[in-house]
Amino acid sequence: MKKIVALVFLLAAFAAAARAQESRQDISISGFGYIEPYVASSTNVQVHSNTGIGALISYRYMLTPTAALEANYGFGYQNKLHYWVNPNNYNIPVRTEEISGAFVKYFVFKNFNPFVEAGPAGIIFLPIVNSGLQTLDSKQQTEIGALYGAGVAYEISPSFDIRAEYRGIITKVPTFGNQQFKTNKWYNIYEPAIGVAYHF
């Protein structure tokens, strides 16, 4: 009887030790491109922009070996939104901040771990004030939208992987508090990203 109790105790200890060593969390840092599409609206407003760049910090908590919850903070470096309001053109330099969360589903193939994700997102559009913007009185704007994406993580060691993904954010086209920029449109911001993740 004592041997059985000792055996059960040892098995429980080994299981606890193995669980303690299992990586259930990771944090990643990525760089991304920030591509906003051309939008033409029924209000005679046209919007397009140049491509920006940014950085993304993500935290994932594994619920199971193939499912995780993710929290993100992203910061987009200056890009310009161009509004054409017949017959005038306006350029608004902008920085963006992203706060989002997602459910992530993994598909494990040895060292390759493809994944898909989806969840809510908030985007803060921050106009960069200059002499032109002072005359437009452009204001910071926060919009709620949705995040979706797909990518692949390649495991280079038990602690690190390289992560490449396509992310999309669906949100309203900003007006910066200026009614003449109103489009009544949603658009899809494209964010191809690549980075490295650390598991702990």
Looking up residue 136, the CATH number of its domain turns out to be 2.40.160.20
pLDDT score of 63 more than 70: yes
Closest CA to 56 of 174, 187, 182, 149: 149
Looking at residue 29, its pLDDT comes to 98
User: What tens digit of pLDDT does each residue of 10-35 get?
Assistant: 434 433 334 444 679 999 999 999 99
**Per the structure, how many domains does the chain have?**
1
Residue 14 within any structural domain of the chain: no
Domain membership flag for residue 5: no
DSSP state of 173: P
Instruction: Give domain status of residue 150, yes or no.
Output: yes
- Read off the tokens for 6: 């000792």
- The answer to whether residue 40 is domain-embedded is yes
Q: Would you state the pLDDT for residue 10?
A: 41
Taking residues 1-9, report their average pLDDT.
43
Q: Reduced to 3 states, what is the DSSP secondary structure of residue 182?
A: coil
Identify the band that residue 196 occupies on the pLDDT scale cut at 50, 70 and 90: very high
Quote the pLDDT of residue 132. Answer: 58
Residue 185 C-alpha from the chain's centroid: 21
Amino acid at 172: K
Task: Specify the amino acid at residue 104.
Answer: V
Residues ≥6 apart with Cβ < 8 Å to 157:
none
**Which of 9-18, 97-106, 168-177, 184-193 is the least confident region?**
9-18
Q: What percent of the chain stands above pLDDT 70? A: 86
- Asked if residue 153 belongs to a domain, the reply is yes
Q: Which domain holds residue 75?
A: 22-199
Q: Is 181 a member of any domain?
A: yes
Question: Per the domain annotation, does 171 fall within a domain?
Answer: yes
Q: Over the chain, what is the mean pLDDT?
A: 87
> Is 85 a member of any domain?
yes
In the structure, what pLDDT confidence band is assigned to residue 66 with cuts at 50, 70 and 90? Answer: very high
Q: What is the pLDDT of residue 121?
A: 98
| pLDDT tens by residue, 120-152 | 999 999 998 776 565 677 899 999 999 999 999
Which residue's entry shows tokens 């032109």?
132
Q: What is the pTM of this model?
A: 0.83
Q: How far apart are CA 58 and CA 139, in angstroms?
A: 28
* Contact call for residues 102 and 72 (beta carbons, < 8 A): yes
Burial category of 9 from C-beta neighbours within 10 Å (exposed 0-12, middle 13-18, buried 19 and up): exposed
How far apart CA 99 and CA 121 sit, in angstroms, is 6
Q: Which one has a higher pLDDT value, 180 or 9? A: 180
